[in-house]
Structure 1
Amino acid sequence: MRIGLLTDGGYPYATGESRLWCDRLVRGLTQHEFDLYALSRSAEQEAQGWVQLPIQVSRVRTAPLWMTDEDILGGHVPKGLLARLVTGGGGRSYGRRERRLFTAHFTALATSICTSDATAEGGDGGSTADAADAQFTDGLYGLAELAREHGGLPAALRSETAVRVLEAVCRARGTGRTVHAATVPDILTLAAELDRVLRPLSLDWYDEESLGAVDLCHAASGGAAALPGLLAKRFFGVPLLVTEHGVQLRAHYLAATGTALGAPVRALLAGFHGRLATEVYRQAALITPGNTHARRWQERCGADRAKLRTVYPGMDAARFAALGESNDEGGPDTLVWVGRIDPSKDLIALLHAFARVRKAEPDARLRIIGAPAPGAEGATYLAHCRALAAQLFPDEAADAHAVGENPVSFEDIGGAEVSDLAEAYAAGGIVVLSSVVEGFPISLVEAMFCGRATVSTDVGAVVEVIGGTGLVVPPRNPRALADACITLLRDPERRARLGAAARARALELFTVEQNLAAFRDIYLELISRSPVRREADGAPRPFASPPEAQVLGSWTVPAHTPSWATEGACAGALGTADRDG
């Protein structure tokens, strides 16, 4: 089969989300061909290039969605890059008929995102929500068809017509108080944001040689990555599979709280992403959440339970095999934290908890291993954590970098003390996770592969991953975190039992092999359920790689072979098959 793999801000770029998972998927399913359709999120991501791609990847199409209006209109984008963004140059002006169609479709979409389901929870909440969803899909697909036929949308989405439509629907009767209060700057900001999130509609990917040629679209996330899959299904009937390890709608809600956008803009963008999630889940043939936490979010957004199938992300257990099989406890009095240092990991609570641990167990140590998150916020947070550690342990922090002399140390992977990730987990007998926000806890699974006992906060998919093989406490509760750590520090036999059980669970559920096996079956299932796609002359369209191509030797019939020989061989084969069963 030919799989159209759709990504947003990840594979095949060297940095980004779901990069390793996508790479393992493509390399593991060698019997299929993959066409990559990737959206990039920044100029820096583009500049860092791609990972080395395996031979299964037959085509790569990319499009940048990070450009500003000034980049596009001012000609600051290389011509080749802009050509990937839109057909027709992106700056083409519509005629009267096209402007009328644009106004109708954009009005429908804008009206739908101004309609709040919460305002209709009385008698007709369901019908109002259904009507708004219908308006959204009419507007979305109408704009997509307009872009496909007349050369893209960017000029129209940045036009005065678009701004006037947004202003009218925000001022209309029945809109919520927050939306009704939108100012002109809010409306201009909203128009720019909608221009960005709707740019996938203007890509030149929707023809018989691109997404029309794949057998199945697999979106590696919801949101923008799934938009091309929606259009491939709309225009060509290609089935859509959606995988979400972290729900994009939830990620949007979390990210919006930290922006400078006004309340009306945040409300309207939340409405857009909510309607988009509903449509993606409705059109998907199957949805594979990476954990039950994501699955609950998808159900809340309207996903049909019959379409949901949890598939845990596969991780490489081999790199931790030696440590997991050695039964080496590392530092039995040492707590280890491993990860990216940022506020969501709540190292402040961990340091306060360790102060209580230190009073109960004077020989205990805490090693915080990892680098700060990129940007000023990560560096500032790390500095704050270092200052708090010096304040909590003033008599022991003369040398903040010396390992073995101070109760708390901050270390990087790749240094003299911690050469690689396995060494990080080998540094202690207990691994701690103190997060207040977490999706699928990768560091927790890695600790389980290493046979380590764990103490974690109850966030995201932690309880689902641990499954009774570690201690779980409420988040933002240093006392509970400290008590759990003290319990395991004082009970080495329990540590060993929990570590062994955790390793067995991780090897059963979270390996690359189980992930590949699941998607191998899912691809075949979806194709078997899909209608036969036909060529223009009515003949069935073959798969990109026929099953016979996997047979060793020559499986095609030479042109000079007599017809009777072919028929006889087929009859003999059928006869043998009948006799055997």
Structure 2
Amino acid sequence: MRIALITEGTYPFVLGGVSVWCDQLIRGLHDFEFEVIALTSNGLEKAAYPPPANLKGVVNFPLWNSVRRSRSRQRASRWFDQVHHSFVSALVRPNWGTTYFLWALRAMAGYAQQADLGEALLSEASLGRLLKVWKEHQPQDPSIAPLPNLTLQDALLASELIEHLLRPLQLIPAKAEVYHAVSNGPAALVGMMGKWYHHVPFVLTEHGVYLRERYLSYLQAPFSLSVQTLILNFFRLLSSAAYRMADLIVPVSEYNRRWEERNGAFPTSIRPIHNGIDPALFPPPEVEPEVPTLAFVGRIDPLKDLHTLIESFAYTKERVPNARLRMFGPTPAGNERYRESCEDLIAKLGLEGAATFEGRISPAARGYQAGHVAVLSSISESFPYAVIEAMSCERATVSTDVGGVAEAVGDAGILVPARDPAAMGRACAELLLDDERRIAMGKAARARVLKHFTLERFLNDYRKMYHDVVSLSRAAKSSALSGMPYPTEPLPASGS
């Protein structure tokens, strides 16, 4: 069986949790062949992982390079005008549902095989159409808040951002038996293209909730309110369209399942599979550290909310004066100022020497073993490897109750609210001062990993999922949408 694994900004070019998951999947399912279709920034990225023997190729498709992969520069047709009208109408009024949006996506994919879709989306006519539709859909009821002002500059910026995100519609992927997107968004567009052109299953995995993460990101972006509205409406519609088109949705947690159902996924199409690890790579140490120590292992990133972790450590030191906080992990490019703000906070709270950044550690197990308690202060997670890796090392954990963390921890760790340094600090102090409880919790944590979260279980579940989705696809009748004739020629405009 040949699987096309579709990634965005991760494997095989970027280190991180999703990339670890991809590498585990490909190497572990050595009886399958894989091709990776990687959506990247500029196409110049270098591989960060050595290729497994069953990885038969990597397609690097850049979304943000300056040159579009254009077709002929023929003038947009009246048929395209109709398609674009449906598209921007859905963007302005996403409560219409995904039907208009999904039809427009498929039609634009057909157009992109014949002509320059980017040029058509950014044409004067298309910008004018967006402005006109925006104005027409201003609510007439004075009790309803009006749409924010949309200027020509706003319309151009929003259209440019959306044009980049729609570039996968130019790509007809090579034939595979399953197209498996490992995130929603543009990666899902490639999965849809594979399904539309080759009539084979499309599987979608969400590690984080894509739509939620886009809201967290774009609401902080330096865009006008109208641009934010259009972009977030686009992501909302694209996420819902991907849920509708996917033959199977395979989130990494039940938490993600709830978000997916809320955003339009059919409950019967969802099959969660938790992440897994090799417990042999994360063994319990023979002894605990001599000094009471908290250990954090992960990237230095605002989503990890290290400000809360550092503030919580000040509470811990009030009860455990000789405690240490050791933070292991890289500082990704672009996060240098965040790292500096963390160091400034350490100095402000008088924690120099007790709270330290120690960079990437290898193997990662050494980081967890360096502490009595493993801590995770994230404001957003899906099903984090850091938690189950620490648990495998027989470490009691104190974690924020976000995403699927509670599913991992069960009763073998302590959960606290996000952004609550006092609660986290008190929980850490309690475990550092109570040897019996801490050690018992660590043993229960490893037992939980051995029962539920092993790499062997993970691989068996995915092997069965791939076979099941192919069998079900062959047996099932095509849906009305999947059976639509593919638009290879421009359709005449109504009334022509």
Question: Offset at 1:108?
Answer: 0.5
Given the alignment of the two structures, is residue 47 of structure 1 paired with residue 45 of structure 2, yes or no? yes
Give the direction of change, closer, same or farther, for the CA distance of 1:10–1:411 in structure 2 (3 Å limit): closer
Aligned to 2:487: none
Given the alignment of the two structures, is residue 457 of structure 1 paired with residue 404 of structure 2, yes or no? no
Question: Offset at 1:358?
Answer: 2.0
Given the alignment of the two structures, is residue 94 of structure 1 paired with residue 86 of structure 2, yes or no? no
Q: Secondary structure at the match of 1:463?
A: helix
Question: Offset at 1:187?
Answer: 0.3
Residues 111 and 169 of structure 1 are in contact (CA less than 8 Å); yes or no, is this contact kept in structure 2? yes
CA deviation digits over 1:139-164, x for unaligned, max 9? Answer: 1111111222x144122122212211
Counterparts of residues 31-110 of structure 1 (less than 5 Å): 31-42=31-42, 46-49=44-47, 51-67=49-65, 71-72=66-67, 85-86=69-70, 88=71, 92-95=72-75, 98-110=76-88
CA deviation digits over 1:46-74, x for unaligned, max 9? Answer: 3323633223233332211012xxx22xx
Instruction: Report the residue type matching 1:408 in the other structure.
Output: A
Tell me which structure has the larger Cα radius of gyration: 1
Aligned to 1:189: 157
Give the direction of change, closer, same or farther, for the CA distance of 1:365–1:66 in structure 2 (3 Å limit): same
Give distance in 2, aligned partners of 1:470 and 1:217.
37
Give the direction of change, closer, same or farther, for the CA distance of 1:177–1:169 in structure 2 (3 Å limit): farther
Give distance in 2, aligned partners of 1:292 and 1:495.
27
Pick from 344, 362, 375 the counterpart of residue 321 of structure 2. 362
Aligned to 1:516: 459
Given the alignment of the two structures, is residue 486 of structure 1 paired with residue 434 of structure 2, yes or no? no
Aligned to 2:357: 410
Aligned to 2:296: 337
Which runs of 4 or more aligned residues in structure 1 lie more than 6 Å from their structure 2 counterparts after TM superposition? Answer: none
Counterparts of residues 422-461 of structure 1 (less than 5 Å): 422-461=365-404
Aligned to 1:531: 474
Question: Offset at 1:255?
Answer: 1.1
Question: Offset at 1:444?
Answer: 1.6
Q: Secondary structure at the match of 2:295?
A: strand
Give the direction of change, closer, same or farther, for the CA distance of 1:368–1:6 in structure 2 (3 Å limit): closer
Moved more, 312-321 or 463-472: 312-321
Give distance in 2, aligned partners of 1:251 and 1:62.
24
Give distance in 1, aligned partners of 2:263 and 2:295.
37
CA deviation digits over 1:478-526, x for unaligned, max 9? Answer: 2222221221122111111100111111222222221111110011111
Give the direction of change, closer, same or farther, for the CA distance of 1:302–1:328 in structure 2 (3 Å limit): same
Residues 300 and 331 of structure 2 are in contact (CA less than 8 Å); yes or no, is this contact kept in structure 1? yes
Aligned to 1:382: 339
Residues 154 and 202 of structure 1 are in contact (CA less than 8 Å); yes or no, is this contact kept in structure 2? no
Aligned to 1:25: 25
Aligned to 2:246: 284
CA deviation digits over 1:284-310, x for unaligned, max 9? Answer: 111010112211111111111111111
Aligned to 1:217: 179
Given the alignment of the two structures, is residue 233 of structure 1 paired with residue 233 of structure 2, yes or no? no
Moved more, 191-200 or 437-446: 437-446
Aligned to 1:372: 331
Counterparts of residues 465-504 of structure 1 (less than 5 Å): 465-504=408-447
Q: What is the percentage of aligned positions where both structures have the same residue?
A: 37
Give the direction of change, closer, same or farther, for the CA distance of 1:147–1:16 in structure 2 (3 Å limit): farther
Give distance in 2, aligned partners of 1:112 and 1:245.
27
Give distance in 1, aligned partners of 2:398 and 2:20.
26
Instruction: Report the residue type matching 2:471 in the other structure.
Output: S
Question: Offset at 1:7?
Answer: 1.6
Give distance in 1, aligned partners of 2:330 and 2:221.
24
Instruction: Report the residue type matching 2:108 in the other structure.
Output: L
Q: CA RMSD in A?
A: 2.3
Give the direction of change, closer, same or farther, for the CA distance of 1:26–1:353 in structure 2 (3 Å limit): closer
Instruction: Report the residue type matching 1:40 in the other structure.
Output: T
Aligned to 2:490: none
Q: What is the TM-score of this pair, normalised by structure 2?
A: 0.89
Aligned to 2:268: 306
Question: Offset at 1:382?
Answer: 2.6
Give distance in 2, aligned partners of 1:187 and 1:320.
51
Q: Secondary structure at the match of 1:302?
A: coil
Aligned to 1:171: 135
Question: Offset at 1:311?
Answer: 0.5
CA deviation digits over 1:413-453, x for unaligned, max 9? Answer: 35xxxx64222212221112222333332222221111001
Q: Secondary structure at the match of 1:245?
A: coil
Give distance in 1, aligned partners of 2:354 and 2:73.
66
Question: Offset at 1:369?
Answer: 2.6
Q: Secondary structure at the match of 1:18?
A: helix
Residues 413 and 420 of structure 1 are in contact (CA less than 8 Å); yes or no, is this contact kept in structure 2? no
Question: Offset at 1:180?
Answer: 5.2
Give distance in 1, aligned partners of 2:306 and 2:58.
40
Question: Offset at 1:189?
Answer: 0.5
Give the direction of change, closer, same or farther, for the CA distance of 1:409–1:134 in structure 2 (3 Å limit): closer
Decide which structure has greater helix share: 1
Instruction: Report the residue type matching 2:442 in the other structure.
Output: G
Residues 414 and 427 of structure 2 are in contact (CA less than 8 Å); yes or no, is this contact kept in structure 1? yes
Give the direction of change, closer, same or farther, for the CA distance of 1:294–1:434 in structure 2 (3 Å limit): same
Aligned to 1:139: 104
Instruction: Report the residue type matching 2:331 in the other structure.
Output: P
Which consecutive unaligned segments of at least 5 residues does structure 2 have? 477-496
Greater RCO structure (CA 8 Å; 6+ sep): 2
Moved more, 474-483 or 8-17: 8-17
Counterparts of residues 392-403 of structure 1 (less than 5 Å): 392-393=349-350, 400=352
CA deviation digits over 1:457-479, x for unaligned, max 9? Answer: 22222211111101111222222
Give the direction of change, closer, same or farther, for the CA distance of 1:17–1:493 in structure 2 (3 Å limit): closer
Give the direction of change, closer, same or farther, for the CA distance of 1:36–1:360 in structure 2 (3 Å limit): closer
Residues 127 and 152 of structure 2 are in contact (CA less than 8 Å); yes or no, is this contact kept in structure 1? no
Give the direction of change, closer, same or farther, for the CA distance of 1:59–1:343 in structure 2 (3 Å limit): closer
Aligned to 2:258: 296
Question: Offset at 1:332?
Answer: 5.7
Give distance in 1, aligned partners of 2:354 and 2:10.
38
Aligned to 1:348: 307
Q: What is the TM-score of this pair, normalised by structure 1?
A: 0.76
Which consecutive unaligned segments of at least 5 residues does structure 1 have? 73-81, 118-128, 401-405, 534-581
Q: Secondary structure at the match of 1:519?
A: helix
Residues 148 and 225 of structure 2 are in contact (CA less than 8 Å); yes or no, is this contact kept in structure 1? no
Question: Offset at 1:104?
Answer: 0.9
Give the direction of change, closer, same or farther, for the CA distance of 1:93–1:371 in structure 2 (3 Å limit): closer
Give distance in 1, aligned partners of 2:305 and 2:330.
14
Give distance in 2, aligned partners of 1:178 and 1:290.
39
